[in-house]
Amino acid sequence: MFSKNYSTAKRVQAFSSKGDFEKAKKLMIEMSENYKVLLDLFPENTEDEFDTEALPTVWEEKDEFNALMTKASDDMIKLTSVIEDAEDIRGTLKQFMWSNCKACHSRYREEH
Protein backbone atom coordinates (compact mmCIF):
# COMPACT_ATOMS: atom_id res chain seq x y z
CA MET A 1 0.00 0.00 0.00
CA PHE A 2 2.85 2.38 0.82
CA SER A 3 4.55 1.67 -2.50
CA LYS A 4 1.28 2.26 -4.31
CA ASN A 5 0.80 5.58 -2.54
CA TYR A 6 4.35 6.62 -3.36
CA SER A 7 3.92 5.97 -7.08
CA THR A 8 0.52 7.67 -6.95
CA ALA A 9 2.05 10.67 -5.16
CA LYS A 10 4.58 11.06 -7.96
CA ARG A 11 1.72 11.08 -10.45
CA VAL A 12 -0.17 13.63 -8.34
CA GLN A 13 2.87 15.87 -8.47
CA ALA A 14 3.27 15.44 -12.22
CA PHE A 15 -0.39 16.18 -12.97
CA SER A 16 -0.48 19.13 -10.57
CA SER A 17 2.68 20.61 -12.03
CA LYS A 18 1.10 20.43 -15.49
CA GLY A 19 -2.12 22.02 -14.24
CA ASP A 20 -4.16 18.86 -14.80
CA PHE A 21 -5.93 19.17 -11.47
CA GLU A 22 -8.88 16.91 -12.20
CA LYS A 23 -6.61 13.90 -12.75
CA ALA A 24 -4.53 14.90 -9.74
CA LYS A 25 -7.61 15.21 -7.51
CA LYS A 26 -8.83 11.73 -8.42
CA LEU A 27 -5.47 10.35 -7.37
CA MET A 28 -5.50 12.39 -4.17
CA ILE A 29 -8.82 10.83 -3.22
CA GLU A 30 -7.41 7.39 -4.04
CA MET A 31 -4.45 8.05 -1.76
CA SER A 32 -6.77 9.23 1.01
CA GLU A 33 -8.67 5.94 0.82
CA ASN A 34 -5.41 3.97 0.82
CA TYR A 35 -4.37 5.64 4.06
CA LYS A 36 -7.65 4.53 5.61
CA VAL A 37 -6.90 0.92 4.62
CA LEU A 38 -3.60 1.15 6.46
CA LEU A 39 -5.46 1.72 9.73
CA ASP A 40 -6.48 -1.93 9.73
CA LEU A 41 -3.05 -3.27 8.88
CA PHE A 42 -0.31 -4.11 11.37
CA PRO A 43 -2.59 -5.76 13.97
CA GLU A 44 -1.23 -6.51 17.43
CA ASN A 45 1.31 -9.32 17.73
CA THR A 46 1.93 -9.62 13.97
CA GLU A 47 5.29 -7.88 13.75
CA ASP A 48 7.08 -11.19 13.13
CA GLU A 49 4.51 -12.64 10.74
CA PHE A 50 5.25 -10.51 7.69
CA ASP A 51 8.42 -9.50 5.91
CA THR A 52 8.01 -5.73 5.88
CA GLU A 53 10.27 -2.73 6.10
CA ALA A 54 8.23 -1.48 9.04
CA LEU A 55 9.99 -0.80 12.30
CA PRO A 56 8.64 -2.23 15.58
CA THR A 57 7.44 1.28 16.42
CA VAL A 58 4.46 0.72 14.11
CA TRP A 59 3.17 -1.84 16.61
CA GLU A 60 4.55 -0.16 19.72
CA GLU A 61 2.98 3.19 18.81
CA LYS A 62 -0.10 1.93 16.98
CA ASP A 63 -2.30 4.82 18.13
CA GLU A 64 0.25 7.38 16.93
CA PHE A 65 0.73 5.48 13.66
CA ASN A 66 -3.03 5.41 13.10
CA ALA A 67 -3.26 9.12 13.92
CA LEU A 68 -0.64 9.84 11.27
CA MET A 69 -2.49 7.70 8.71
CA THR A 70 -5.73 9.55 9.54
CA LYS A 71 -3.97 12.90 9.22
CA ALA A 72 -2.45 11.86 5.89
CA SER A 73 -5.88 10.78 4.64
CA ASP A 74 -7.48 14.04 5.78
CA ASP A 75 -4.65 16.12 4.30
CA MET A 76 -5.13 14.50 0.89
CA ILE A 77 -8.79 15.57 0.95
CA LYS A 78 -7.76 19.10 2.00
CA LEU A 79 -5.26 19.12 -0.85
CA THR A 80 -8.06 18.56 -3.36
CA SER A 81 -9.65 21.82 -2.25
CA VAL A 82 -6.55 24.01 -2.24
CA ILE A 83 -4.32 22.77 -5.04
CA GLU A 84 -5.93 24.73 -7.88
CA ASP A 85 -5.61 28.05 -6.07
CA ALA A 86 -2.14 27.43 -4.69
CA GLU A 87 0.44 30.03 -5.61
CA ASP A 88 3.20 27.53 -4.88
CA ILE A 89 2.10 24.10 -6.09
CA ARG A 90 5.32 22.42 -5.03
CA GLY A 91 5.11 23.91 -1.53
CA THR A 92 1.45 22.98 -1.19
CA LEU A 93 2.20 19.39 -2.21
CA LYS A 94 5.00 19.33 0.33
CA GLN A 95 2.73 20.64 3.08
CA PHE A 96 -0.23 18.34 2.47
CA MET A 97 1.33 15.25 0.89
CA TRP A 98 5.10 14.82 1.08
CA SER A 99 5.43 15.91 4.73
CA ASN A 100 3.19 13.01 5.78
CA CYS A 101 5.26 10.58 3.71
CA LYS A 102 8.42 11.87 5.36
CA ALA A 103 6.92 11.72 8.86
CA CYS A 104 5.98 8.08 8.40
CA HIS A 105 9.28 7.06 6.79
CA SER A 106 11.39 8.73 9.43
CA ARG A 107 9.54 7.15 12.34
CA TYR A 108 8.09 3.85 11.12
CA ARG A 109 10.24 2.54 8.26
CA GLU A 110 13.67 0.95 8.15
CA GLU A 111 16.38 3.00 6.49
CA HIS A 112 17.48 2.00 3.02
Model pLDDT for residues 24-81, shown as the tens digit of each residue: 999 999 999 999 999 998 888 888 776 778 889 999 999 999 999 999 999 999 999 9
The pair phi, psi for residue 21, each rounded to 5°, is -70, -30
pTM as predicted: 0.92
Contacts of 28 (CB under 8 A, 6+ apart): 12, 76, 77, 79, 80, 83, 97
Domain range annotation of the chain: 2-42+53-108
